[in-house]
Amino acid sequence: MTAAKGKLIRGSTGDWEVVIGLEVHAQVTSNSKLFSGASTAFGGEPNSHVSLVDAAMPGMLPVINEECVRQAVRTGLGLNAQINRRSVFDRKNYFYPDLPQGYQISQYKSPIVGEGEIVVELEGGKTATVGIERLHLEQDAGKSLHDQRPEVSFVDLNRSGVALMEIVSKPDLRDAEQAKAYVTKLRSILRYLGTCDGDMEKGNLRADVNVSVRRPGGPLGTRCEIKNMNSINFIGQAIEYEARRQVEIIEDGGTIEQETRLFDPNKGETRSMRTKEEAHDYRYFPDPDLLPLEFSEAYVEKLKAELPELPDQKKARFMSELGLSPYDAGVLVAERESADFYETVLENLAHKVRDGKLAANWVINELFGRLNKEGRDISASPVSAPQLAAIVDLIGEGTISGKIAKDLFEIVWTGGGDPRALVEARGMKQVTDLSAIEKAVDDIISANPDKVAQVKAKPAAIQWFVGQVMKSSGGKANPQAVNDLLKSKLGI
Ligand code: ADP
Ligand code: MG
């Protein structure tokens, strides 16, 4: 697979290409932990969701949570990846106060999911395919709290043992925009699948970002890894900073040391956390408490058959069935909630195929525009999907014009109500009565002989007449009828 070209960095000695690979940690959506029955609920009292297994009491044995396995397989299928019918859990040994076992149960040489790929959306409607190296299951650690009291630290084990999927990309990304688009798309796929809620603020999805630079197309450079990023914007900023830092070092005659770095959002800088020499030796070995994970072809096939429609498929369907542009279809499917909203509008339309495109315009331009302006989420939209469908129906069938529909949208947004009843009650119907329109047309023509002369020379000036007639009808005249009448009366 060839990676999409990215934005090069101009150095003092020439151009540099940035190479990025991401390790994303996604918390598995599951009620209980990977190897215990303790709750995964967010925000409980410290140490209130901790079983004896999570606290690593002597003699406790892990028991695999089937739901987490199912979710990992479903995720692998959603990433078009190889599902490994046999995988192994290993112990990754290190000492840390928030890791009571003294090791993390993870997967090393034999992960549950192998190679896959995802298509990411880039600017200008372009797409790029990014390779997935692997996906493995592992336990999360607890949390050390150093800010509660000045003289002691505390440990909260609520997260200890929660299932994570580590999703490792190939080094296929070439600039900050691509990396951001990758995380956005991956998050969207996980949310469609319902395998991770994608809540980055809560840390339920976070990324380690590996960055190196090289001469365009040259051999790979040494990478630095920026740990634990939980904002897509910060990921972009960290990459921009880190790539420049590496270029400057190399151009000054230095070399890049492989190291782990942290991003400081206040300064917009990355700084060293530990170098390769200080890196842990994890002494991985298969966990003797757990059997290898094995499942049948039939199990995988069943999960595959039950997968929901994913964003790429939905986008393709919107384009082929309803004639949406790739851009519009992409906007609608980007978030599961907006796609669901649009689909509910479609279900409520009287003529889904005829008006599907019109409905897409209304969702994207009017509804999203208005929601953005007020900083609201689609789940808190004052205009419901059936209401929006009714507005679109009224335009589609010619009862109201697009312009009146905007007023109607405004009325529904602020006061609610049934759009059809509102049109009736407020006399908002479009005038298709030709004699009424004809009168308005005649009036405008006789009052403006100079404009009549102009339009004969320059037919495009008819728009001025259309505007005047629409204005005099309070926007209610049928624009097509106005156009037709004007053309015949003006003789153009
Ligand atoms: P580790 O756990 O040692 O960081 P992984 O294999 O889990 O190793 O992850 C390595 C990540 O670094 C992958 O996402 C990979 O694409 C990326 N990567 C590898 N080599 C480079 C490189 N030269 N520049 C940028 N990213 C790289
Ligand atoms: Mg790493």
Please tell me what DSSP assigns to residue 82: P
Say which CATH architecture domain 434-490 belongs to. Orthogonal Bundle (1.10)
Q: For residue 210, give every residue at least 6 positions away whose Cβ sits within 8 Å of its Cβ, in sequence order, or none.
A: 20, 21, 22, 23, 171, 223, 224, 225, 226
The preferred substitution site among 17, 136, 168 for testing ligand 1, maximizing ligand atoms within 8 Å of CB, is: 168
For 384: left if phi > 0, alpha if psi spans -120 to 50, otherwise beta; the answer is beta
pLDDT of residue 10: 96
* pTM attached to this predicted model: 0.88
Is residue 258 within 8 A of residue 223, CB to CB? The reply is yes
Instruction: Give the model's confidence band at 401: pLDDT under 50 very low, under 70 low, under 90 confident, else very high.
Output: confident
**Candidate from 59-68, 78-87, 475-484 with smallest mean pLDDT:** 475-484
Q: Is the CB of 135 under 6 A from ligand 1?
A: no
- The mean pLDDT value for 318-333 works out to 95
What is the CB-side half-sphere exposure of residue 348 using CA atoms within 13 A?
18
Q: Tell the residue number behind the tokens 């990014």, with chain if given.
A: 130
The CATH 1.10.10.410 domain(s) of the chain lie at 434-490
Measured by CA distance, the residue closest to atom 4 of ligand 1 is 225
Contact 176, 207 (CB under 8 A): no
Q: Is the dihedral of CA 321, 324, 330, 335 positive or negative?
A: negative
pLDDT at 40 over 60: yes
* For ligand 1, atom 17: residue with the closest CA: 21
Q: How far is the CA of 24 from the centre of ligand 2 (A)?
A: 10
SS3 of 167, please? strand
pLDDT of residue 278: 73
pLDDT in tens, 44-58: 999 999 999 999 999
Q: Is the dihedral of CA 290, 159, 196, 261 positive or negative?
A: negative
- The three-point CA angle 416-419-420 to 5° equals 150
Distance 145 CA to ligand 2 centre (A): 24
The more confidently predicted of residues 424 and 103 is: 103
Confidence of residue 109 (pLDDT cuts 50, 70, 90): very high
Is the pLDDT assigned to residue 61 strictly greater than 60? yes
Which residues does residue 431 pair with via DSSP β-bridges, in sequence order? 477
Indicate whether residue 115 lines ligand 1 (CB < 6 A): no
Give the DSSP letter of residue 308.
P
pLDDT of 178 reads 97
247: tokens are 């270029």
- Nearest-atom index, ligand 1, CA of 22: 14
- Distance from the alpha carbon of residue 171 to the mean position of ligand 1, in angstroms: 7
For ligand 1, whether the C-beta of 19 sits within 6 Å is yes
The rounded mean pLDDT for the chain is 94
Structure tokens at 9: 């960095």
Assign residue 161 a region (left: φ > 0; alpha: ψ between -120 and 50; beta: otherwise).
Answer: left
Work out the percent of the chain whose per-residue pLDDT is above 70. Answer: 99
Ligand 2 centroid to 208 CA: how many Å? 6
pLDDT value for 1: 54
* C-alpha 131 to ligand 1 mean position (Å): 12
Average pLDDT rounded to a whole number, residues 418-437:
84
Per residue in 218-242, pLDDT (tens digit) is 999 999 999 999 999 999 999 999 9
Give how far Cα 97 sits from Cα of 116, 160, 485, Å: 35, 11, 82
The helix/strand/coil state of 357 is helix
Dump pLDDT digits (tens) for 358-396: 999 999 999 999 999 999 999 999 999 999 999 999 999
Would you say how long the chain is, in residues?
A: 492
Whose tokens are 């890196």? That residue is: 279
**Residue range 104-118: mean pLDDT, rounded:** 97
What's the confidence (pLDDT) of residue 237? 98
Q: Is 168 in the pocket of ligand 1 (CB under 6 A)?
A: yes
pLDDT in the model for residue 2: 67
Chain-centre distance of CA 321, in angstroms? 23
For the Cβ of 20 lying below 6 angstroms from any atom of ligand 1, the answer is yes
Please report, for residues 22, 82, 116, the alpha-carbon distance to residue 113 in angstroms, rounded to integers and kept in the order given. 16, 6, 8
Q: Which ligand has the minimum distance to the alpha carbon of residue 214?
A: 1
Residue 472 banded pLDDT, cuts 50, 70, 90: confident
Reported as a single tens digit per residue, the pLDDT across 154-192 is: 999 999 999 999 999 999 999 999 999 999 999 999 999
* 270 has a pLDDT exceeding 90: yes
State whether the beta carbon of 212 lies less than 6 angstroms from ligand 1.
Answer: yes
Q: Can you tell me the mean pLDDT for 111-120? A: 97
E strands in 295-426 = none
Distance CA 319, CA 312 (A): 11
